Amino acid sequence: MLKTYQYKDLTKEQIQELVNRNTDPNNAIQDTVLQIINEVKTVGDAALKSYAKQFDKVDLEKLYLGQEEIDELASTISRDQMRALEIAFQNIYKFHQTQLKRERTVETMPGVKCWREVRPIEKVGLYIPGGSAVLPSTLLMLGIPARIAGCREIVVCSPPQNNGKINGFVAYCLKLLQINKIYLVGGAQAVAAMAYGTESIPKVNKIFGPGNQFVTKAKSLIQGLTDVSIDMPAGPSEVLVIADDTCNPAFVAADLLAQAEHGIDSQSILVCTSAEIAKNVEAEVEKQLEVLPRKELAEKAIQNSYFVITENLQEAMDFSNLYAPEHLILETDEWKPLINKVLNAGSVFLGHLTPESAGDYASGTNHTLPTSGFARSYSGVSVDSFVKKITFQHISEEGLQQIGSTVEILAELEGLQAHKNAVSIRKKD
């Protein structure tokens, strides 16, 4: 029986406890990650090879695969599989291409013109998880907006398989993205390698990609220790499904399990408007769980998940906004009025026929999203994530006459005489 809570009976403290996840109360994860970061920073490639042996159970002679090896691996997948990846590529590209927009110049006063111009981040690092499931879709989700943005150098890291290579699906995505090298490094050590650079792996300006709690912690630490930024904290995956009496319990159960099979630290939450819905969904979860190849993983994730029963959809939305899910699914006929009530979520899936897995793979939206409540303040990955917007301004003689005295007065009241002089000397000239 899944843990089930009545929303009306929960105190604020109990709700806060429910929405907290992936904490590291004793700093055990942080201590391990700091050790890995320091080792990679100090020893470089040797540390990466040692960690590959320890964590990936593989002896690596070199830490990367080049174009020839990528082409060979890509040729091992079927034409149907290639076509599916191509369709996903096209849809993701089509959605993200619209995000690169030129802004207009604004004349704030006569002769004072201000504008912003977009510039790509020059060197970006993409982390593609391996672990229990290799995710070629993540490579598309990160590589496509990086290409659209015009990033000059794209460094890709992914854990090696036990044969010291990558799978053919990742290789084919590399070909679609015109990336001719991939580094065989996973975990926190991959984040450290891209942040500091090693003999083989270039240092980057920004690191992207989801991962387990160790990868997420490494990204957070690196942002404080170096001049390298990150896309967002994107850790273990999660879904929150809101369902009422119009839902199909089999659909809801399938969506909960789709998230649960990512790994034991994933979380699948159902918020529904009656105990009857919870009962029917739980029966479906048990039934569908039995035939999943990744049953053991999904089962452990489900044990870490729970149901919340609310009296209406408004209460369901209140809880969802407190939880701030990575993925939010509205399995109700009344999804349209709920759109404006969504305050905190990474990506939202509307109605009975919009499974979260469509967004994971091929609808076009990005699946690299904030987790662990960070949807309260972060957006998912987009082309914006791969660019900087630099402000420009130009002041003519007329503009200096218009704005000069304002700047002089403001500089004087702040006691910054040199600021005032920078205007005054020009006005006199």
Positions marked active-site: 326-327
- The response to whether 5 counts as a known ligand-binding position is no
Is residue 288 part of an annotated ligand binding site? no
97 is in an annotated binding site: no
> Could you tell me if residue 116 is left (phi over 0), alpha (psi between -120 and 50 degrees) or otherwise beta?
beta
Q: Is 20 exposed, middle or buried (0-12, 13-18, 19+ CB in 10 A)?
A: exposed
303 appears as a binding residue in the annotation: no
318 annotated ligand-binding residue? no
Residue 417 backbone zone (phi > 0: left; psi -120 to 50: alpha; other: beta): alpha
Whether 127 has a binding-site annotation, put simply, is yes
Q: Is 419 annotated as a binding residue?
A: yes
- Closest by alpha carbon to 426, among 409, 406, 402, 401? 401
| Helix, strand counts (H, E) of the chain | 17, 15
394 annotated as a binding-site residue: no
Q: Is 232 helix (H, G, I), strand (E, B) or coil?
A: coil
Helices (H), 56-178: 67-74, 79-97, 136-149, 168-176
Q: Is 414 annotated as a binding residue?
A: yes
Residue 56 annotated as lining a ligand binding site: no
Distance (Å, rounded) from C-alpha 125 to C-alpha 306? 35
Backbone angles phi, psi at 219, to 5 degrees: -60, -45
Is residue 116 within 8 A of residue 389, CB to CB? The reply is yes
Residue for token digits 């010291």?
A: 164
Residue numbers belonging to the annotated binding site:
127, 189, 212, 237, 259, 262, 327, 360, 414, 419
Residue numbers belonging to the annotated binding site for Zn(2+):
259, 262, 360, 419
Residue numbers belonging to the annotated binding site for NAD(+):
127, 189, 212
